[in-house]
A and B are shown apart, each in its own frame.
Chain A
Amino acid sequence: MSDRLERVVVTGVGVVVGACCGIDALATALHASSSLAAGVESRSPYHGEGSATQGVLSIGVDLSPWVPAATGRRMGRPSRFAAAAARMAVLDAGGAAVDDPTSTVVMATAYGAIEATEHLLRVERREGPAMVSPFGFTESVANAAAAHIAIATGAHGPNLTIVQREAGALTAVGRGALEVASRRSRCALVGCAEEMPPILHAFLDRFNALARGTATMTEAARPFDRRRNGFIAAEGAVVLVLESEREARARGARIRAVIRGFASAFDPTAGRLGWGRGHVALGGALTRLLERTSTDRSRVSRVVSGASGSIAGDRLEAHVLHEVWRGSTLPPILAPKGHTGEYGGGFLAAAVLGATQPNAGPTVGFDEVDPDLDVTPHGGGELPASDVTLVTSLAAGGAASWLLLEAV
């Protein structure tokens, strides 16, 4: 194996986000002036009075073109989303060597297969352990989605499931890219999968993580906005196909973006449930990523921000960016979680689009600058020519991940 690292590119994207199947459907939705959110089953036994009512859900979406019913009925919902997204990504990549013996799968999930776990516990409690389904248990494990991707595609390389809350998706991309860059894996299927059943939605609501409507404003994610009060929870899956640029060019593949760099860090000032105030140290880690990849800040032509509408999360995100740019004007900032919600991979697909497209839709939910944040996200329309795009994810609990994507 050569010590020299390969350049890694994205050649395929598969998307199941809300009602959107496929990257083109998501691209269209991101240009709309409304989010992908719809009503959730908020009258479940878990929701309390006045709880949040919105979510980006993939209920009733027809996945049968990618996962036949006979196969899908043996899967939990996150596995179905993931297997469908993987097959879309493989088709989109058009001939990538995903079934090579070395090809790896690295998927992220923030919460795992909650519905299967809840069902198991309910049956165990109500009907007794003898009635627990072995099928339900096997689908309750966090790595079910990654395993089903491997089964669906024949990827026999390392099979990893990363759980790092909101930072997991970018971490999965970064780790998969490093596998390809080091030539241990010829190809990587990376991304994330999530489901948002009522019980999880209600849990998040109990921790005041979700956006709430008030007498004066609707329930919506408002990234960077002064009035933000939480995020919209989402489900779905996004899978990217990664391979070396050398191999992609040799087979004439369409290259969607180059993965220029990846870094992750931790903010130990964060509590178990929220974001900390360690913007100086996190800014240092992000600065080191830029230096290590010889990326002058002036080359960062866009930021695809993980800001979700969370009060503390968006504050930390803004302060980290200001720490890195130190008084200079920030690049145009896209905040797609206003559309896609938090979790489920919509953000990851939006990042790939955001890194390459000449224009972007408006930042849904943003209306009023928060003076503490001093960030005005992109208002929609044309963007400066794309060079390097910084993609950010700061997670509750302290983890942080960043990707640098480069336009071709």
Chain B
Amino acid sequence: MLSSPGRQQRRVVVTGLGAVTPAGWGVKAFAQAILSGRTTIGGFTRFDHVAQRTHIAGEVPPEPPTLRRVRGWHRLSNTDRFAVGSALEASQQAGLAWPLADADAAVFFASSTGGLLETERFVHALFDPGVATATRGLLASYSLSSPAEAIARRLGVTAAVETVSSACAASALAIEQALRAIRRGEVEVAFTGGSDCLCVTTYAGFNALRAVDEHPCRPFRADRAGLSLGEGAAVLVLESLDHAVARGAAPLAELMGAGASCDASHMTAPNPDGYWAAEAMRRALADAGLDSSAIDFLNAHGTATPLNDAAEAAAIGLVFGDRAHAVPVEATKGVVGHLLGAAGAVEAVATIVSLRAGTLHPTPESGPVDDALGVDLVLGRPRTSSTLRTAMSANLGFGGANAALVLRRWSEESES
């Protein structure tokens, strides 16, 4: 009798957004950056990369002074700071009074690095004891669950706090977990998203895979040559529609559905035919009770590696069929880079920004689109449309983890 309160298929809405990206601290800076179509990827100082093969990334600028006054801020790792900064922004927009009633709020979060940057400093100090000191404090945020716990501690959350670490699909999967928990009635409100920081391990690792471009990444372009790493976080406040309405909150969007799958074929390379990535998209559509014709645009994973973009384009073809060439595709990573465990959340925020602005954000113009992929990439300039209503955001990760979300712009008619 594994039970829930029996309130399945409750509608779930987004009432708050927060983002920390290479464009700055806050959704406003992020929205301006993506709508401008200018890349934020460039030189960075997070760690010494002189000996690395490449020398660019999307680096988050220093935090605003107001955040430095948050209690315990100086003890948090960078990843935790991005997470807490995003959560505070999202909760403020949602207008949630804290602490919420007992057991009403949960955190479903994602991270692929946690406090790995600080742990690297500890380990390097162990390797070279004369050069640096291995203080325990550097290890305190090591756990990948630390960002979720930092949010929960800051906001006084007492219900579930869970972390998903499934590579680049992690935060989309965490958002799905939050959606299901609210639908089941486990909680009324969930803080969900992801946070990750640039670090030596991922930078050297992706370079070892020859998956990093020496120039800012060019998703779906004919001459694409790999990804650009980035860092940052995004948080979405999800809540049941009933709860939002009861407290007079203004929904920003509705999370209509989510789906996931696994290639189950290779640790790094996506299934080239895109079948299982397409299956995640189909499952998200089925969960939303929609068919593919309802999707007005897709925010793609679009890493700009030759294999990923080809597999994703194949998946788009399988899902959208004859419409595949006509469904506009956004590729947010061209602006901010690949935020790994935070990518799905940041791109969900980008999708909501586009839905609400009625404007598809462009990826920076640099080279022709790969015609062989057959995608309608929004390139160079934003595209405005009065008919944008429903969108999909997709993510594909290491280990073949695929996830997709379906989001709908909120309007007065949505409530009925």
Give chain A's interface residues, CB within 8 Å of chain B: 3, 5-8, 45-46, 101, 105, 109-112, 117-118, 120-122, 124-126, 128-130, 132-134, 136-144, 146-148, 150-151, 153-165, 168, 171, 175, 177-178, 181-182, 199, 203, 206-207, 259-268, 270, 272-273, 278, 281, 284-285, 288, 292-294, 397-399, 406
Contacts and interface: CB of A to CB of B under 8 A. Distances in A.
Contacts of B162: 162, 164, 171, 175, 264, 399
Nearest to B120: A121
A397 B397 contact: no
A48 to B, nearest CB: 11
B127 interface: yes
Contacts of A46: 126
A263 B114 CA distance: 25
Given A143-B165, A178-B184, A268 B200 contact: no
- 7 closest Cβ contacts across the A-B interface? A147-B399, A137-B205, A158-B260, A159-B262, A142-B165, A150-B264, A266-B161
Contact of A143 (B146, B167, B201, B210): B167
Nearest to B114: A163
Contact of B208 (A7, A137, A261): A137
Given A138-B209, A141-B167, A156-B279, 19 more contacts: A7-B2, A130-B53, A134-B205, A137-B205, A140-B205, A143-B397, A151-B265, A151-B266, A160-B401, A162-B164, A164-B163, A171-B162, A206-B136, A267-B158, A270-B149, A272-B141, A285-B158, A399-B145, A399-B149
Interface in B125-145: 126-128, 136, 139-145
B123 interface: yes
Interface residues of B, number: 83
B30 to A, nearest CB: 26
Contacts of A155: 262, 264
B173 interface: yes
B166 A160 contact: yes
Interface stretch (B5-13, B81-89, B314-322, B359-367): B5-13
Contacts of B400: 147, 150-151, 159
Contacts of A132: 204-205, 207-208
Interface in B192-245: 200-201, 204-210
A265 B106 CA distance: 8
A380 to B, nearest CB: 31
A120 B204 CA distance: 8
Given A3-B9, A147-B262, A294-B1, A159 B161 contact: no
A389 to B, nearest CB: 14
B153 interface: yes
A176 B139 CA distance: 31
B59 to A, nearest CB: 18
User: SS class of chain A's interface: helix, strand, loop or mixed?
Assistant: mixed
A137 B82 CA distance: 24
Given A147-B400, A265-B158, A268-B156, A7 B264 contact: no
Contacts of A153: 264
Interface of B: 1-6, 8-9, 51-53, 75, 102-103, 106-107, 111-112, 114, 116, 120, 123-124, 126-128, 136, 139-146, 149-150, 152-153, 156-167, 170, 173, 176-177, 180, 184, 200-201, 204-210, 260-268, 276, 279, 397-401, 403
B416 to A, nearest CB: 22
Nearest to B401: A159
B401 A143 contact: yes
B145 A147 contact: no
Contact of A129 (B51, B127, B144, B210): B51
Contacts of B1: 7, 260-261, 293-294, 406
A177 B266 CA distance: 26
13 contacts: A7-B2, A8-B2, A121-B120, A139-B267, A141-B112, A143-B170, A147-B398, A159-B260, A159-B264, A160-B401, A163-B145, A165-B145, A272-B146
Looking at A125, A140, A143, the one whose CB has the most chain B CB atoms below 10 A away is: A143
Contact of B276 (A117, A156, A177): A156
A305 B387 CA distance: 56
A205 to B, nearest CB: 11
A158 B173 contact: yes
Nearest to A121: B123
Contacts of B165: 109, 112, 141-143, 161-163
B158 A268 contact: yes
Nearest to B129: A45
Contacts of A134: 205, 208-210, 268
A398 B153 contact: yes
Contact of A138 (B5, B112, B265, B268): B268
B159 A265 contact: yes
B139 A137 contact: no
A367 to B, nearest CB: 31
Nearest to A180: B2
A136 B159 CA distance: 37
Contact of B206 (A5, A130, A137, A144): A137
